[in-house]
Amino acid sequence: MATGECPIKKANVGGGGTRNNDWWPDELKLNILRQHTAATNPYKDFDYAAAFKTLDYNGLKKDLTALMTDSQEWWPADFGHYGGLFIRMAWHSAGTYRVNDGRGGGGGGQQRFAPLNRQVNFPGWQWLARSSGTFSLQKHASGIESSLTIDIYSWPDNVSLDKARRLLWPIKQKYGNKISWADLLLLTGNVAIESMGLPTFGFAGGRPDQWEAEESVYWGGETTWLGNEVRYSEGNEGVKGSGVVDGDQHKKDHTDIHSRDLEEPLASAHMGLIYVNPEGPDGVPDPVASARDIRTTFGRMAMNDEETVALIAGGHSFGKTHGAGPSDNVGKEPQAAGLEKQGLGWENKFKSGKGPDTITSGIEVIWTSTPTKWSNKYLEYLYKYEWELTKSPAGANQWTAKGAEAIIPDAFDPNKKHLPTMLTSDLALRYDPAYEKVSRNFLENPDKLADAFTRAWFKLLHRDMGPRSRWLGPEIPSEVLIWEDPVPAASHPLIDDNDIAALKKEILATGVEPTKFISTAWASASTFRGGDKRGGANGARIRLAPQKDWKVNNPKQLSEVLSALEGVQKKFQSGSKKVSLADLIVLAGSAALEKASGVSVPFTPGRTDATQEQTDTESFKHLEPYADGFRNYGKSTPRVRSEQFLVDRAHLLTLTAPELTVLVGGLRALNANYDGSSNGVLTKRPGQLTNDFFINLLDSNTAWKTTDNETYEGTDRKTGAKKWTATRADLVFGSHAELRALSEVYGSSDAQEKFAKDFVAAWDKVMNLDRFDLA
Ligand code: HEB
C-alpha cells in the first residue's frame, strides 16, 4: 500500500468506502449508545464476579511477584525489575479518569484498545518536533503524505506499555476469565509497589472487561498528537460552564501558560497525554507554570494538592524514564504498525532498540539511587540539590543536579553511574509554594508520604468502581473512604408487598400532583453515571447539598415533594417499621406512574439514606447536569447542541437509543419538564402515559418554525393555528433519521401497549442503576 492512501476509505469490502460519518461529520451520533453489547462480548451471560470468586488470588499475586524480576530477552527489565514499568502501566490505565463526566479510568481495561492511539486522520498537517522548547505546528505543503509522518514525532503517553501488557500475557493466559485485563493491569501495579517494599492500602477486583474501544470519551478537539490549541482556546466555559453564547469572549491565548483555562471535561494538557507535558507546559521548562497545569489536571482526576504531591513523589520513587536517543528512531504506534508487529508498536531503530537503548518519552531521567526500592530519596534529592536545565540525548528538556556526585546506578551497566536528574514537572513539587508546603512535610515525615501515597494510589485505582458492593477479593480495606460516596447499610427489615401497597396509597393521598413525584424520582435516580458509577437514587442525596439546590431539580417543587414524603415516612414509622426516604422517592415515582399508565410498575426496596457528612459536596458538584433533555433543561452552547447533551446523558445513564426514545416520549406525555413548561408536551391529556408525543410529532399536518434554533413553534399547516411548542431535544426525534425510525415504532397504532411496557422497563432500569447490592 502506498503511503498516504487511507486504506479504510479505499477498501471496497469490509466496511470500507466513504461513510455517513465522512459525509456528515456533524450529524448527531448514536453510536455511543450501542457499545459493549452482547455482540462485542465473547462471553455469553458471563458473571465476572462469580468467576473472580474462584480465582486463586494469592497464587496470582505470587506469579506477578515472580514476573517482576523475570527479565525477558525481548524486553529486558531496567535494574532487573519491571516494577517501574508496571506502575506506570497501572497509573496510565487509571489516570485517564476525569471527575467532570466520570469517564475514563481503568474500569474496562480500555488501555488494550488504546483510545489515545487512534490514527490521526487529518491530512496536510505535520507535527513538527520540539524546537527551542516549544511545540510548533506547521501546515505541510505536500498534503496527505505528511499525515503519515506524524507518528514519528508523536509522543503518546502509552509508549512501551504495549510491552508491559505483553509481558503479562502468560499470566493472563494462565488465569483466563477469572481475572479481567482491567483488574490485572491495576493489580499488577499494586503488586509492583509491594514487591519493591511498600505495603499498599489494599486492592479490590471487580472490573469486567470491555471488548472494543470506548467511543464516548471526549479526548479533545485537536487533530494532531500533543496539540492543545483547542482545549485552551475554549477554556472552562467553552463546553459546559455557564453556557455563554459568545464563545469568543472566552478565547484565551493557549500559549499563555500561566493563566490558561483547560476546557471541561478534559483532564490533560495535550492531546495524547494523560496528564501534563513532563518538560513543562507546551515544552517550556518552567516548574511553576508546570505546577499550574498539574493542579488542573490532577484536580480533574479528583486529587487535591496533598494527594497529587504524594502520587508524583511516590510514583517517581521508582523506575526511570527512557530517551536513549533521538525520538525519530521510534516507529509507528500499535494501531498503525504492520501486521507482522502483532499489535506491538513504537519499534525503535536506535541500536538494540530495547534495554539501554529504549526510547519512550525521549527524556532520560533516573530519580533515585534505589529505583527498585521504596524510599524517601526522591524528595531528599529534590531538596538537596540545585537543578540545572539540561537536555536528554533525544534533546528533551530535563534537569540535572548541580555539583552532585554520580550516585545513580545505570539500568544495565553495573560500572556506570549517573548524576541525579528530574523532570520539569518534578521540580514543580518544590517551586510551587503550595506544593512545597506539602512536599517538605513529606520530606521530613517519610511515614506521612507512605501513608498519603498508598491512600492516593488506592483512590486512583478504585475511584471509578462505584459502591463497595461491586468490590471483590481478600484485600478490600475495612476503612470506608468519603470518595466512595458511602450509604449506610440497611439496619431494618425491608418493607414487604403489603407495606408497599399501603405506602403507595398514602403517597397518592398527600395531594401533591403525581407528576411531581415522577419528576423527583427522575431527578434522584438520573444523576447516575455509568463511567464511575456515582450518583443514583440510593442515599437520597437529592435532599442534601448540593443537589437539593440545583436549578435542574426545581428546588421549590422538590422541597414540596420531599416534605410530603417525609410526612408519609413519619406516619409509617410511628409503627414498628421503617422506610428510607430514598426508597420512598422511587416508590412515589412508581405510584404516580402506575396511576398515569394503568400498568404495574416494579419496585425493589433496600435503599438507605446517606447523611450530609457522608456526602462530599465539592465532588458531588460534578454530577450537576449542564443540560438534561429528558427534562427539557438547558440549551445548546456554541459547540454543543442540546440534542448532543441529551445523547451524552443517555450514555451516562447506560441507555440504548430505543430506551432514550421511549423515555423522552413518555416523560413528555407525563408532563415532567423540570419547570413545568409545555415544550414537547405534545398531547391533549398531559399527565397520562400515552404515545401521543410520537403521534403528534410525526403528524405531517404540523409545520415547525424557529427564531433562535433552540425552541420551536408548531402550527397547523391548513389553519395556521398554533398547536405546540418544542425544543431541539423534542424535535430531534422527528428530524434525525434513526431516532425518527424509533419514533415511528412508538407512534404506530399498534404501539400503545409496547410503548407503555418499554417505558416502564426503561424507567425501572434508571431507578435501579445504582443497585449493585441486588446483583
Ligand atoms: Fe511518571 C515514568 C512523567 C506522574 C509513576 N513519568 C514517567 C516518565 C515520564 C513521566 C515522562 C517516563 C516514561 C518513560 O519511560 O520514558 N509522571 C510524569 C508526569 C507526571 C507523572 C509529567 C505528572 C506530573 N508518574 C506520575 C504518577 C505516578 C508515576 C502520579 C504514579 C503514582 N512514572 C511513574 C513510574 C515511572 C514513570 C513508576 C517509571 C516507569 C519505568 O520505570 O519504566
Residue 377 scores a pLDDT above 80: yes
Q: Which residue would you say has higher pLDDT here, 1 or 729?
A: 729
Q: Residue of the nearest CA to atom 3 in ligand 1? A: 278
How much of the chain, in percent, has pLDDT values that exceed 90? 75
pLDDT in tens, 28-87: 999 999 999 999 999 988 999 999 999 999 999 999 999 999 999 999 999 999 999 999
Residue 347 scores a pLDDT above 80: yes
Distance from chain centroid for Cα 550:
22
Q: Cα–Cα distance between 32 and 587 in angstroms, integer?
A: 31
Residue 758, helix vs strand vs coil: helix
Q: What is the reported pLDDT for 251?
A: 40
Q: What is the reported pLDDT for 127?
A: 28
Q: What is the reported pLDDT for 340?
A: 87
Tell me, yes or no, if 92 is annotated catalytic: yes
CA of 217 to the centre of ligand 1 (A): 23
Q: Which residue would you say has higher pLDDT here, 179 or 242?
A: 179
User: Which region holds residue 438: left if phi is over 0, alpha if psi is between -120 and 50, else beta?
Assistant: alpha
Q: Residue of the nearest CA to atom 17 in ligand 1? A: 312
Q: What is the reported pLDDT for 9?
A: 64
**What ligand 1 atom has the least distance to the C-alpha of 361?**
16
Q: What is the reported pLDDT for 21?
A: 79
Nearest C-alpha neighbor of 710 from the set 686, 739, 677, 740: 677
pLDDT in tens, 540-589: 999 999 999 999 999 999 999 999 999 999 999 887 789 999 999 999 99
pLDDT in tens, 161-213: 889 999 999 999 999 999 999 999 999 999 999 999 999 999 999 999 999 98
Q: What is the reported pLDDT for 356?
A: 95
**Mean pLDDT, the chain, whole residue set:** 89
Nearest C-alpha neighbor of 359 from the set 136, 556, 560, 152: 152
Q: What is the reported pLDDT for 116?
A: 45
Q: Which of 321, 329, 397, 410 to mutate to test the pocket of ligand 1 (most atoms within 8 A of CB)?
A: 321
Q: What is the mean pLDDT of residues 613-637?
A: 95
> Of 92, 418, 622, 651, which is the active-site residue?
92
pLDDT in tens, 114-157: 654 433 332 222 222 332 223 333 333 333 222 222 333 333 57
Q: What is the mean pLDDT of residues 360-369?
A: 95
Q: Classify residue 311 by burial, with Cβ atoms within 10 Å: 0-12, 13-18, 19+.
A: buried
Using alpha carbons only, how large is the chain's radius of gyration in Å? 28
Q: What is the reported pLDDT for 125?
A: 24
Q: What is the reported pLDDT for 491?
A: 84
Q: What is the reported pLDDT for 117?
A: 41
Kindly list the distances between the CA atom of residue 680 and the CA atoms of 423, 631, 683, 713, 725, in Å, as whole numbers in the listed order: 55, 10, 9, 10, 6
CA of 138 to the centre of ligand 1 (A): 29
Q: What is the mean pLDDT of residues 351-370?
A: 94
Residue 382 scores a pLDDT above 90: yes
Kindly list the distances between the CA atom of residue 208 and the CA atoms of 24, 178, 179, 182, in Å, as whole numbers in the listed order: 34, 10, 9, 7
Q: What is the reported pLDDT for 339?
A: 87
Of 81-85, 338-342, 432-436, least confident by mean pLDDT is: 338-342
Contacts of 437 (CB under 8 A, 6+ apart): none
Ligand 1 neighbours, Cβ below 6 Å, are: 78, 84-85, 87-88, 91, 160, 275-276, 278, 294, 311-312, 314-316, 318-322, 360-361, 363, 423, 425, 457
pLDDT in tens, 498-540: 999 999 999 999 999 999 999 999 999 999 999 999 999 999 9
Residue 306 scores a pLDDT above 60: yes
How much of the chain, in percent, has pLDDT values that exceed 70? 91
Angle among Cα 182, 187, 191 to the nearest 5 degrees reads: 160
Q: What is the reported pLDDT for 149?
A: 29
Q: What is the mean pLDDT of residues 325-332?
A: 86
CA of 78 to the centre of ligand 1 (A): 14
Q: What is the mean pLDDT of residues 290-315?
A: 96
**What ligand 1 atom has the least distance to the C-alpha of 362?**
16
**What ligand 1 atom has the least distance to the C-alpha of 457?**
32
Position 69: which residue type?
T
Q: Cα–Cα distance between 749 and 753 in angstroms, integer?
A: 10
Residue 256 scores a pLDDT above 80: no
The band of 659, judged by pLDDT with boundaries at 50, 70 and 90, is very high
CA of 613 to the centre of ligand 1 (A): 35
CA of 336 to the centre of ligand 1 (A): 25
Q: Residue of the nearest CA to atom 5 in ligand 1? A: 315
pLDDT in tens, 676-711: 999 999 999 999 999 999 999 999 999 999 999 999
**What ligand 1 atom has the least distance to the C-alpha of 91?**
31
Q: What is the reported pLDDT for 745?
A: 98
Angle among Cα 53, 58, 63 to the nearest 5 degrees reads: 120
Q: Which of 75, 85, 88, 366 to mutate to test the pocket of ligand 1 (most atoms within 8 A of CB)?
A: 88
Q: What is the mean pLDDT of residues 350-365?
A: 93
Q: Which residue would you say has higher pLDDT here, 533 or 242?
A: 533
CA of 315 to the centre of ligand 1 (A): 7
pLDDT in tens, 447-501: 999 999 999 999 999 999 999 999 999 999 999 999 999 999 988 888 999 999 9
